[in-house]
Structure 1
């Protein structure tokens, strides 16, 4: 019986969600894939494009994924919260891969409010409820003080993976 395989997939416009994804990958010995899209999202115009895409619930045109989520026992999907919604690149990824997920978990970075709305949207887009979810304020990530939130999240994920492994062994 092998260890459960974990994939962390994320989009990061400013690098904050990337920092969180990297920390989680180290803690969980996970593979990582960054979602890349074809839209220019830097600067003031890029920020405006992000907000408009969120309001319109428009998925982005993204680069095809290199890693197949169906090969993983758990896929963690991370997004920045844009105007109270999931980012357009993550929206596209979830729509494209929803049939391939065994189990999912969600994490997000945000400046203020909107985490629960983003999680609700991610659940609908993925077509399943997450085994765990975690919201972290961008300022906490940037200052390196997001440890408590991450420890709770990783602990919940590890419990889920241990349960999953036990069920696999019983079969």
Structure 2
């Protein structure tokens, strides 16, 4: 089974999960990259990120070098912004959508995941994909339970 891990990491939490997955499983990876970087700290980061997430803005992205359509299972990871998926992940799915794929989704959040997991799942299902697993990871748990929680989640689907 060909597996693709597609993710966007803004402050490093999703990257930490992606790095663990890349190191343990045989997956290809595609890091989503906006053409214009969003600040990684300060008030403007929260305002811009929250605004884009709430109003479903789709920022321009660097073109991906991998075609998601070539894979059997696609794992999609996003940080949570204002209770929603990040705008770069939203933009990627809208612009480079794939259909009729098995998908597993995860979000990384600091406080409350809000509607992010259902939003991400619904967005993929609207395109005819089949969601086989959903996981949320709280940032504070990544320090002590990352390997255990991510391994248990992925072992159940791969």
Q: What's the counterpart of residue 18 of structure 1?
A: 15
Q: What's the counterpart of residue 133 of structure 1?
A: 134
Any stretches of 5+ residues in structure 1 without a counterpart?
159-171
- Greater mean deviation of Cα atoms: 92-101 or 25-34: 92-101
Q: What's the counterpart of residue 36 of structure 2?
A: 39
Any stretches of 5+ residues in structure 2 without a counterpart?
none
Q: What's the counterpart of residue 77 of structure 2?
A: 78
1 CA distance for matches of 2:111 and 2:61?
26
More strand by proportion, 1 or 2?
Answer: 2
Is the contact between residue 94 and residue 122 of structure 1 (CA under 8 Å) also seen in structure 2? no
1 CA distance for matches of 2:23 and 2:149?
16
Deviation at 1:98, TM superposition (A): 2.8
Indicate the SS of the match to 2:132. Answer: coil
* CA RMSD across the alignment: 1.6
Q: How many residues are matched?
A: 153
Aligned CA distance change for structure 1 residues 138 and 55 (closer, same or farther; 3 Å): same
More helix by proportion, 1 or 2?
Answer: 1
Q: What's the counterpart of residue 49 of structure 2?
A: 50
Larger radius of gyration: 1
Is the contact between residue 27 and residue 154 of structure 1 (CA under 8 Å) also seen in structure 2? no
Indicate the SS of the match to 1:75. Answer: strand
2 CA distance for matches of 1:83 and 1:156?
29
